[in-house]
Amino acid sequence: MQISEEHLSNNWKRFTLTNDRGMSVSALNFGGIITEVLVPDKNGVIENVVLGYERAEDYKDDPNFFGAIIGRIAGRIDGSNFSLKGKEYPLEANDGANHIHGGSNGFHTKVWKAHSFQTDSTVGVAFKYDSPDLEEGYPGNLYVTVTYQLNNRNQLTIDYQAHSDLDTPVALTNHTYFNLSGNLKRTIHNHLVSMNSSTYAELNEDLIPTGNRNTVTGTPFDFRKMRPLQEGICSEYKQNLLAKSGYDHYFLFDQKQEDAVVVQDLESGRIMRIHTDQPGMVMYTSNNLTNDHQLTGRQSAKYLGVCFETQGTPASLHHSGFPSIVLKANDPYSQQTSFSFETM
């Protein structure tokens, strides 16, 4: 296993973690952005399975949040405000009347302190950022560490650690777009997905949770048995149509299990297994991705990637029935998600 560091402009660095089986993960200290993940297909051909820009500078003002750490809160906050302990906290309205992904100067725009390391079984890089009180409107000084580690089982593990000196909502995630076809050869229509979820958060026309937890039974949202993403993308089901024909919804996991989500691409033979201790995730099928970005290997296109944003949901700030994302002062925030790659 090995680690390499490349110095870019603007004090940016690119770290590349490589294991003994040829898998590698590259990430920037800017936004903690994962720019490339190279894994083998069923014939041993090693290819990239995530979306990233051809030019590093294009990450600076990225409307798609490719590969980035999202915080303090991932997702949309209704009306760009929330109440905590009787006090109202206004936030930037950067998605119509609503707030999304921590604001326009959220964690995805920060140059994080970073250091690489190696253990007996992993290579990794730790990113640290101290978010001051009321940054982007959020209360409390929040001290965050996000660690990426790669082992020889072709498993990438992301650990999120944080603490605050005041009560504050926190819902961190990573916004990597996956495409298991390899080098973005095909869209994700034929990706097969299964997940341990029997309910999801219903959305309104602004993609804000209504507060209802809908059952997946009898709908294109039932992934308890493996099904292709195209069934929702091509569906006339109202919730799919609201999301611009696809998915941009929070799925609540029924219980913790070894593989919360399994993704397969039959043609390449790649399988990705996601394990997490988060209560759910947003699955987003890049419904808003336009065709005017130069990515590594090709031009961007709608449905070229799928995000699995394991996280708590900001719906809990306005609605009961969802796990709280409020972090108590001086309590530890500790969450983990791993992505394991294998072939059929």
Residue 259: pLDDT over 80: no
What pLDDT score does 33 carry?
98
Of the pLDDT bands very low, low, confident and very high (cuts 50, 70, 90), residue 309 is very high
How many CB atoms sit inside 10 A of residue 258's CB? 8
pLDDT, tens digit, 9 for 90 and up, residues 56-81: 999 999 999 999 999 999 999 999 99
Q: Are the CB atoms for 121 and 155 separated by under 8 Å? A: no
Of the pLDDT bands very low, low, confident and very high (cuts 50, 70, 90), residue 233 is very high
What pLDDT score does 188 carry?
98
What HEC string does 140-165 produce? CCEEEEEEEEEECCCEEEEEEEEEEC
pLDDT, tens digit, 9 for 90 and up, residues 323-333: 999 999 999 99
The answer to whether residue 231 is catalytic is: no
Beta bridge partners of 273: 262, 340
Measured in whole angstroms, the distance separating CA 224 from the mean position of its chain's CA atoms is 21
Residue 116: pLDDT over 80: yes
pLDDT, tens digit, 9 for 90 and up, residues 176-226: 999 999 999 999 999 999 999 999 999 999 999 999 999 999 999 999 999
What pLDDT score does 257 carry?
66
What pLDDT score does 108 carry?
98
Measured in whole angstroms, the distance separating CA 105 from the mean position of its chain's CA atoms is 17
Of the pLDDT bands very low, low, confident and very high (cuts 50, 70, 90), residue 9 is confident
Of the pLDDT bands very low, low, confident and very high (cuts 50, 70, 90), residue 5 is very high
Spatial CA neighbour of 143 closest among 127, 118, 122, 162: 162
**71, 211, 239, 336 from 327: Cα distances, Å:** 13, 21, 31, 16
* Range in 107-121, 213-227, 243-257, 305-319 with the lowest mean pLDDT: 243-257
Query: Running DSSP on this structure, what letter comes out for residue 58?
Result: G
Q: Are the CB atoms for 136 and 92 separated by under 8 Å? A: yes
Q: Pick the catalytic residue: 175, 191, 249, 293?
A: 175
| Average pLDDT score over residue span 305-309 | 98
Burial class, 231, CB count within 10 angstroms (exposed 0-12 / middle 13-18 / buried 19+): middle
The answer to whether residue 175 is catalytic is: yes
Where is 233: in which H helix or E strand?
helix 230-233
Where is 202: in which H helix or E strand?
strand 197-203
**29, 133, 273 from 339: Cα distances, Å:** 20, 33, 6
What pLDDT score does 258 carry?
67
Mean predicted lDDT score pLDDT of the chain: 97
| Average pLDDT score over residue span 250-278 | 92
Q: Pick the catalytic residue: 135, 136, 202, 309?
A: 309
The CATH number of the domain holding residue 147 is 2.70.98.10
Query: Which residue shows structure tokens 């800017």?
Result: 30
Task: Give me the domain span that covers residue 244.
Answer: 2-343
pTM over 0.95: yes
**Total domain count for the chain?**
1
Of the pLDDT bands very low, low, confident and very high (cuts 50, 70, 90), residue 7 is very high
